Structure 1
Amino acid sequence: MRTRTFVTAALLAGAALFGTAGGAVADTPSPSASGGAEGPTEAGTSFRTATPVQPGQRATAGASTGDYLYWAVPVDTGQRATMKAKVTLPKAARHGSATWQLDVYDGLRRRQACTYGAQTRAAAADAASVELSCTLRTVRSWAEQSSNDPLPGTYFVRLTVTDLPQDDLGLPVHAEFEPTVAGTGGAYAVDGKLAAPLVPGAAAASPKDGESASPEPSASASAAGKRSVAASEPEGGWSSGRWSDRWVWTAAGGVLAALAGIGGYAMTRGSGRPSRVPPGV
């Protein structure tokens, strides 16, 4: 009876531990529903002027066919980002099909591959709109210098038309852009971490060795710089690999192993009395 009670208690403790670990995984961000919060109403025209957009926001922009539209999205460690764009095409008669493309670059301006999604699509001459999407690989907290693994930092998204009849250049279009992120948990965690997220321009104010410091910037310029850096960060700040739910699973496994060892010993040690009485006793 005592052994059965002990085993039951061990199973209940294990269930509680794994329930906690499951809760840690469930607390990670999930993709927002379609139609996120209203975001910026413009887009940049280059990497330097990319418009910051937070995950879950829906940015819009009016442009002309042939323009390059740029947005900047912060993606942190352990997140898998999906970039979605929709282009509403002009109602005016067009001369042929047009091919639109969505490209994603990291903070070092390395083009990132899409794991799935329609990154390039052709719109027929009578199509009302075209939708594109690109789901990136899970962002890692650390990677080899020679690899092209995605690292935490600012990701640049570029939307443009790559092929269309010359006579259709300059026609007005309306673009919508919405980034979402999903937490993947400790399954993709690594032991190393990046010293700082790849955020271009965040350390631009630091003078190099041997150079004299520049004059003190004005209050308005300093405030604008802080807003620019803050706009390229996640709402809760950068995690930089401080926490991983892999810690919870490791601790839960250790406790369950200890309980299993104690339970096995309790079941095999016997009642404490010898099984046979020696002759003559």
Structure 2
Amino acid sequence: MRTVRVLTAALLAGAAALTVAGTAAADTPSASPGPTSSGKADSAPTEAGTSFRTATPLRPGQRATAGASTGDYLYWVLPVDAQQRVTVKATVTLPETASRHGAATWQLDVYDGLRRRQACTYGTQARAAAKEAPSVELSCTLRTVRAGAEPWANDPLPGSYYVRLTVLDLPEEDLGLPVRAAVEATVAETGGAHAVDGALAAPLVPATVTGSLREPEDGWSGGWWSDRWLWTAAGGVLGALAGIFGYSLTRGAGRPSRVPPGA
């Protein structure tokens, strides 16, 4: 039984070490954008593209701004990796009330590297702003990006994601009025709950943006850690403990009982 206790204590200590290591790895925040070759940190974009091909690169966590005319299509592009869930928020500062002729409906769309429009799981993707409204706010949270998918599926895959902001409906007289747009994208790590076997050979990053779109801080699918490691280690420890406990029971049951002297 002493051997059993020693083995049990060793296994529990190993499990605790794995748990601490896993928690530390999972809780480590992502590295902030590092300095560029000029020695300065990446600055947030102050303009937007007008098509997929001219989309302005945007890093997660940055707040991009742009001045435009009502009716323009505004495009940004950002990298999103597997097991990440992106939320895009946009604020449009509208023209002066005196220069407007009625309400306007604005919409925020997100497309993947294949230019497939991705559905929002929640958020206000389109909103009508009254004539007196000073601004309009929109948001879209996508499904968690998967490492791989079936050819027929429309699952979000690692690569570039395009953000498009535009007005859908407004009085014709209001076309061309100046507006100010602000867009911000945040990325949340979802962990091993969304991990799948297999992965893309390469992220969906079109050649038109490869030179300007930087990859995630730890590379494409570069994060080795997943909370599945904890579940696997815990399962192994519990299995070992169950085996040791069963062995101790069978060993104790197989011992012959001692007969008292003189019986």
What TM-score results when the alignment is normalised by the length of structure 2?
0.84
1:158 to 2:164 alignment: yes
* Separation (CA, whole Å) in 1 of partners of 2:118 and 2:222: 20
1:237 to 2:207 alignment: no
Residue identity matched to 2:181: A
* Separation (CA, whole Å) in 1 of partners of 2:60 and 2:93: 22
Residues 196-226 of structure 1, C-alpha deviation per residue, up to 9 Å, x if partnerless?
A: 0000116xxxxxxxxxxxxxxxxxxxxxx8x
Residue identity matched to 1:153: G
Where in structure 1 are there 5+ consecutive unaligned residues? Answer: 31-36, 203-224
> What residue number does 1:197 align with?
203
Q: For 1:106-125, what aligned pairs fall within 5 Å after superposition? A: 106-125=112-131
> What residue number does 1:22 align with?
23
Give 3-state SS (helix, strand or coil) of 2:196's partner: coil
Contact 1:28-1:184 within 8 A present in 2 as well: no
* Separation (CA, whole Å) in 1 of partners of 2:10 and 2:245: 10
Match of 2:111 among 97, 102, 105: 105
Where in structure 2 are there 5+ consecutive unaligned residues? Answer: 32-41
Match of 1:87 among 72, 76, 92: 92
Residues 140-162 of structure 1, C-alpha deviation per residue, up to 9 Å, x if partnerless?
A: 11101111000000000100000
Shift in Å, 1:114:
0.5
Match of 2:82 among 77, 82, 86: 77
Contact 2:12-2:237 within 8 A present in 1 as well: no
Identity value in percent: 70
Residue identity matched to 1:91: E
Residue identity matched to 2:122: Y
Residues 8-57 of structure 1, C-alpha deviation per residue, up to 9 Å, x if partnerless?
A: 65545434433333334333759xxxxxx851100000000000001011
Residue identity matched to 1:57: Q
> What residue number does 1:205 align with?
none
Shift in Å, 1:242:
5.8
Shift in Å, 1:266:
2.9
Mean Cα deviation higher: 83-92 or 231-240: 231-240
1:44 to 2:44 alignment: no
Shift in Å, 1:241:
7.6
> What residue number does 1:53 align with?
58
Residue identity matched to 2:27: A
> What residue number does 1:212 align with?
none
1:185 to 2:185 alignment: no
CA RMSD of aligned residues (A): 2.8
Residues 88-138 of structure 1, C-alpha deviation per residue, up to 9 Å, x if partnerless?
A: 111242211111100000000000000111111111111111111111101
Give 3-state SS (helix, strand or coil) of 1:231's partner: coil
Residue identity matched to 2:233: A
